[in-house]
Structure 1
């Protein structure tokens, strides 16, 4: 498909061009990577408008994908490339979904309040609601199906969908199948509610049946809600707006520089629509105003520039029109025309306008608010990829129609559209309408994700690509995080040891090379290693910069950090100053990526690596004591001085008791070993027990570093260490089971062999098969009196000899020999 027309921003001043990074971004307007040039003549300021949430339910992980990825790009533009970014985001607090959700919840609560118990009227109304829901949403089921027969009938009609097949059995399942599963789940819950006994509580019944009751009660009573009942709707939106920003704070997503709400822009939106109409690009029908795509294109404008292939997609058009999609459209001048202003309908909030009471169309809100804050042109517009058409295409067309002047050259409203990829689950887009989502707060509360872990996964994928959460994706994210964890723990340990040695600390502050990781003085080899790693750092910084300049390529940037740490770990000797240089640069980059919400200025490494504050006063002395014990035990001698002069510790607070007890118990164990004259091996066993059991159970791990001649590294217990031990223990258990099985099989075979030895070799052939035997019991003649052939006799002799040995073994084992 031909590239759409795109007008590049005006040229910058020479000084601005020199200062501007060679940054390109994938621009949905060009469907290609485009050099990024701000509208600001100095190349410093960026105006950015992002489509915010529609607030009628909790945000889910699909929303996290959009807003976290947007936050990552925003941080990079501001904190890495040093642009002055004005970030504007809207809150959609009135639209078809919000109106429906708020009104349904309000009317159901009013209806339930009129029924104090689960009586016959409630059951009858719910049966009607159940039948209406099945008839509308599950056409393969009989609408008169009885609740008690629902599960069996659903299995007959939709069992293949429930088992993961597509509805038509022609291809893979997708959104359609996800929606069928959602409706089946809702109907099943209502069916089970209708089978509850009359003694059930009304609240319990309503919770199970609400999915079918909400639309039914709404259909019966929505006429009772008037256009002025705004509080019914804002009560819901205010609640979920606050919950949305609570979730964003938890994910370390920065608050917008400017926040706009649709309900606060009523008069401005009316004026915006009126100007589009006055410019000749809108027409009115029965109180609603529609955008005239034919008139716009006749004037030389373009429509559906972002996704022209979807221009005539009736499903997407209907989705964009919301409730108006059910209206007869014969009046439209083009099938692509869309609503700018919607005439007031029963049960909806409304505002006054020249065309009568009504409310804004979905797309016009963003155009009016973005234009009000950022003006007739701005740099970036962003949102999820599902907004490209019709939402952003309609925004673009109507905004340029608003700013249109016959006498002036046509201007481009937005220069760069950035669209974030979807998050998918089992092949379907995660969405509220499909109810196939996990909310952000659920995922974090259950421990499925941490804010850092989720952001790492998004960074490992390209911001504009779709992302499906799989086991491999989760594993890759954890591996990257733990690799950086381990690196930071190492460099923090270097920093802490240096702070305990003022002379070395001053040397590093002055840029002088210091002792290497092994504690040896600087040598040529160490100097060469440090020079090598410093060169590797410079190379990594260049690659990192190139990756971010290449359309914010965070997967490559993340790989650069990982490769740098691998190179560092591979060096046998690196100066402390070089180690800290790497640590500071990696710290700066992960902070720019938003991976540390608690970062403090000048802090080395990200937060979360230190052991608990209440543990430190006990665990650090305990680790030092254990180091001294191990050192003496390995030397072959122990003495009372190993205990040192550790004073009494404050154990007032219950939270500190486990750590205080660990220290006291280890001291008592040492006194016991010294008193009993224990061997060095017993001291080492006590040290291992402290590391592998006592502190492990307190989520602390002591990493012994004997080869480097360094004290044990005190660190929080990581997921990988836990998994490593679990795997090791599982392997050992499996090996033990296999060993026991082999032993049992061998014993059974031996018992079988001995059992077979009960029969004497002298009697083994005395059967009806033969009629005469020699003195050893070997057959001479067969049953018919014929002599046994020589070849047969040889074989019988071999069998006889084997049985003789077996019988003699039996006799020996039973003490009868």
Structure 2
């Protein structure tokens, strides 16, 4: 029987509550819907997100999902002022996790059996390690030891490690992912065994720690490195097994699930649809897709063939030997299936209990579990479709739930995939799988990616669409970041070097005020349109262009309006998570990397102004000693402290050098320019401060050094050093050649051919006969005569030089 598609009920506006005109693209309806929270006051938003399956290290695909989720969460909280309750589950009994769970289970059994790690324990462990490698990493030679495992595995699985398929011809799949997991597991054990071999006194707990994994901890460390907010609540499947079992029992009692003699419980799709319910609401086009269904059931479920229909999915799985198991009177030792996990992860104290429903005027039932659910687009089918089916089956017929609407969740958000094009990647497009690799600092002192760059790339695209990382996209993102950074630098410089403008109000008719109002309106419209961040990024860029134009055309541009623009942009980029843990209400302009240290500011800005005037006069060749002498005597703008002492020393040293230079009567302009360059390129550079000279009348821009500037200077110095060394080699070669020619010139031309090769010579010493008595060929004689003449010239010159 074909299932009907029930009408989706758009929640009515809340009486007496003014909500923002926010619309969100809803995977349930495949269109944008008005966003109306469950909360009668319209403030509280309950959000449940499918968390990670923590069986391996996190990759950029995870970053795409959780960073995009974090961006939307921040916008709801900090822009629209909703009170967001964000709950995330940790999947710890999924089939991929079971592989890890078995390992942890066996490790626990091993530790309880062996109270000490002695030689016998070492031998038993080493034998087990060998067996593990042989079984799971067959390409690694059997004679491989723990000490050379790293090299052997890298050679054997070179393609896999380089993010290719095993044969190197296609993209990697689940097979390659498991190989990587086995390599890491075997390497961790090898490290532990090597540590024991190196030091028999290594504490037992330290040895076991080397072979245990902590992927959940690593996941949250990666999320923090990406500036992703921690969840308000974290739930784990294993903490809610009784609730999950009770949930499943109710579905069985309603006739929508069945237990088998094998100890498994399956959801009965036919029974569910015959009752008039809809199945596969999110991705109806994938209904019956056996490949996706098998993936959803898990690799350890391939031998489970006790289902009534091949489309039915597991709610409870019988635990195999070595797997974690929980008791059940109805179906025996078992563990939850993947799709049922999210239906027991609830905290009644936080108003997430499944026992509560909310009656609304049209008498339809809205389950008071969450306003929205989210995850990657790959979770739509079968995971979220199955979640919907089993939840709606549970609520069907419950008090307050009509037969036509027993909705579990109002809004489903699914983040698009992230992909990286090409096999051979440049540094900026490194085909890594690990977030840690992406953020790690390279040999040149800079990371392939930064947390900010990851966010900018994602903000430039729609959260619900796929993102393909290309050189063009990376270039656009870097250009956007550089443009905003440079504007912030100018704004901070204006704020710190200009008079107090805090009490000044820009005129509404001022062009910059008009541009700011336009950007605010565009931003509000874009964010209300399902969080359209690409349009906001463009609005910010356009606003910065107008501000930069005002600064360039008029050094005395309206500073109040410029600073208002800078503060507003700071607020928006902070809401987007581009400014670390800073509050969106910060009074500080910009993001990290646009301000020099606070203790340095009064001293360095005053010093920069002195240098500006010295440099201006020197370049104009119009030095006025009386003016510069006053600057050389200008008092310190701050009291010396341990925190600012290095900056004070730079200030006082420059003044002393300025006095010395002014005492000269010749070449004073050159001396002053060299003094200014030294302050910029050496003194302040060594304190991570740079004075970026600009065309008059603009003053030098005071800015902190960043990794890219340091890397650029290092590259420049490397090139210069290579040129110097090349010149030295060239000069050395020329000197050697010249010395050889000088030594050769000492020989008299009459003696230069007196060798065993010839038998007779003429009066000048040019050969006439070969050793055997034959006449020298005319062509050969002509050549030797030419050489003789050249030698005579060189010898005569040598003799002249000697005199």
Q: Same fold (TM over 0.5)?
A: yes
Residues 779 and 788, structure 1, Cα contact 8 Å, conserved in 2: no
**1:408 is aligned to 2:394:** no
Q: Which residue, 623, 627, 633 being the options, matches 1:636?
A: 623
2:250 equivalent in structure 1: 275
User: 2:684 is paired with a residue of what secondary structure?
Assistant: helix
Partner of 2:266: 290
- Cα deviation digits, residues 59-101 of structure 1 (max 9, x gap): 7765443222102123335555x38474442333753577875
CA apart distance, 1:556: 5.4
Please, which runs of 5 or more residues in structure 1 have no aligned partner? 216-235, 429-434, 514-529
In 1, Cα distance between equivalents of 2:281 and 2:240: 27
The structural deviation recorded for 1:657 is 3.4
C-alpha displacement of 1:581 = 4.8
Alignment partner, residue 684 of structure 1: 673
Match of 2:413 in 1: 418
1:495 aligns with 2:495: yes
Indicate the residue corresponding to 1:561 in structure 2. Answer: 540
Match of 1:583 among 558, 563, 566: 566
Shift of residue 488, structure 1, vs aligned partner: 0.9
Give me the whole-angstrom Cα distance separating, in 2, the residues matched to 1:130 and 1:313: 39
Label 1:583 to 1:199 Cα distance change in 2 as closer, same or farther (>3 A): closer
Change (3 A) 1:802 1:473: farther
The answer on 1:92 being equivalent to 2:90 is yes
* SS at 1:509 equivalent: coil
TM-aligned CA deviation for residue 487 of structure 1: 0.4
Q: Secondary structure in 1 aligned to 2:367?
A: coil
What CA distance in whole angstroms lies between the structure 2 residues aligned with 1:8 and 1:83? 27
Kindly provide the CA deviation profile for residues 647-704 of structure 1, in whole angstroms up to 9, marking residues without a partner as x. Answer: 5965553x44323333343344345545677834323322322221121111111223
Structure 2 partner of 1:721: 709
Deviation track 1:729-762 (CA, whole Å, cap 9, x = no partner) reads: 2232233233334433443444454455445566
1:333 is displaced (CA, Å) by 0.9
- Change in Cα spacing, 1:477 to 1:409, as seen in structure 2 (3 Å) is same
Shift of 1:598: 1.4
Whether contact under 8 Å (2:293, 2:382) holds in the other structure is: yes
Q: Does 1:702 align with 2:697?
A: no
Alpha-carbon distance change, 208 to 805 in structure 1, aligned in 2, over 3 angstroms: farther
Match of 1:511 in 2: 507
Among 647, 650, 670, the alignment partner of 1:662 is 650
Q: Name 1:740's counterpart in structure 2.
A: 728
Alpha-carbon spacing, 1:402–1:115, altered in 2? closer, same or farther (3 Å): closer
Task: Return the match for 1:393 from 385, 388, 393.
Answer: 385
Deviations 1:13-60 (A, max 9, x none): 7999998758563x5557x6x233335699977664322345788877
Distance 1:284 1:415, change over 3 A: same
- Aligned partners of 1:766 and 1:777 also within 8 Å: yes
Q: 1:189, 1:208 within 8 Å by CA — same for their partners in 2? A: no
Deviation at 1:395, TM superposition (A): 0.6
Report the counterpart of residue 367 of structure 2 in structure 1. Answer: 376
Once the two structures are TM-superposed, the CA of residue 296 in structure 1 deviates from its matched residue by 2.3
Supply the distance in 2 between the matched residues of 1:292 and 1:354 (Cα, whole angstroms): 17
Q: Is the 8 A contact 2:244 2:336 kept in 1?
A: yes
Alignment counterpart, residue 608 of structure 2, candidates 623, 646, 653:
623
Distance 1:193 1:412, change over 3 A: closer
Question: CA contact under 8 A between 1:702 and 1:712: conserved in structure 2?
Answer: yes
What's the counterpart of residue 603 of structure 1? 587
Is 1:50–1:87's contact at 8 Å kept on the other side of the alignment?
Answer: no
1:35 to 18, 32, 36: 32
Render the CA deviation track for 1:712-744: whole Å, top value 9, x for unaligned.
332211233223322322232233233334433
Distance 2:159 2:57 in 1: 31
Contact 1:316 1:389 in 2 (8 A): yes
1: CA distance, partners of 2:685 / 2:739? 45
SS of the equivalent of 1:693 reads helix
Residue 7 of structure 1: how far off its partner (Å): 4.6
> Are the equivalent residues in 2 in contact too, given 1:352–1:358 (CA < 8 A)?
yes
* Aligned position for 2:137: 138
The structural deviation recorded for 1:132 is: 4.0
Which segment is superposed worse, 641-650 or 726-735?
641-650
C-alpha contact 1:491 1:583 (8 A) present in aligned 2: yes
Q: How far did 1:6 drift? A: 8.2
TM-score, reference length from structure 1: 0.74
CA distance in 2, matches of 1:58, 1:716: 34
Q: Tell me whether 666-675 or 14-23 shows the greater mean CA deviation.
A: 14-23
Task: After superposing the two structures, state which structure 1 stretch, 741-750 or 263-272, moved more.
Answer: 263-272
Is 2:693–2:699's contact at 8 Å kept on the other side of the alignment? yes
Any conservation in 2 of the 1:632–1:638 contact (CA below 8 Å)?
A: no
Q: 1:316-345, CA deviations, whole angstroms, 9 ceiling, x for partnerless residues? A: 54554459726x533311223223245677
Question: Which residue does the alignment assign to 1:119?
Answer: 118
Query: Matched residues in 1 for 2:792 and 2:139: separation?
Result: 78
Q: Structure 1 residue 815: deviation in Å?
A: 1.8
**1:218 maps to which residue?**
none
Q: Please say if residues 457 and 474 of structure 1, whose CA atoms lie closer than 8 Å, have aligned partners that are also in contact.
A: yes
Matched positions, count: 753
Higher mean alpha-carbon deviation, 147-156 vs 401-410, is at 147-156
The structure whose residues are more often helix, as a share, is 1
* 2:340 alignment partner, one of 364, 378, 381: 364
CA distance in 1, matches of 2:734, 2:245: 90
Deviates more, 1:335-344 or 1:545-554: 545-554
| Residue 327 of structure 2 is aligned to residue 339 of structure 1 | no
The 1-side partners of 2:241 and 2:155 are apart by 51
In the TM superposition, 1:239-250 aligns within 5 A as: none
Cα separation, partners in 2 of 1:36 and 1:800, compared to 1, 3 Å: farther
Once the two structures are superposed, what CA deviation does each residue of 1:463-503 show, in whole Å capped at 9, x if it has no partner? 34566889987776555333212101212322344434x6x
CA RMSD, 1 decimal:
5.3
Alignment of 1:102-117 (within 5 A): 105=104, 108=107, 111-112=110-111, 115=114
SS class of match (2:690): strand
Matches within 5 A, 1:435-514: 437-438=434-435, 448=447, 451-464=451-464, 477-500=477-500, 508-511=504-507
* C-alpha separation in 2, matches of 1:469 and 1:75: 24
1:300 to partner: Cα distance: 4.3
Q: 464-473 or 89-98, which moves further after superposition? A: 464-473
* 2:360 paired residue number: none
What is the alpha-carbon distance in structure 2 between the residues aligned to residue 264 and residue 788 of structure 1?
104
Which residue does the alignment assign to 2:553? 573
Once the two structures are superposed, the pairs formed by residues 540-555 of structure 1 within 5 Å of their partners are 552-555=531-534
Q: CA deviation at 1:355?
A: 5.5
Q: 1:787 to 1:162 in 2, by over 3 A?
A: closer
What is the Cα deviation at residue 289 of structure 1?
A: 3.0
Unaligned residue ranges in structure 2 (runs of 5+): 347-351, 358-365, 425-431
Matched, 1:612 2:597: yes
Contact 1:460 1:555 (8 Å CA) reproduced: yes
Q: 2:802 is paired with a residue of what secondary structure?
A: coil
How far residue 170 of structure 1 moved from its aligned partner, in angstroms, is 4.8
Q: How far 1:399 sits from its partner (Å)?
A: 2.0
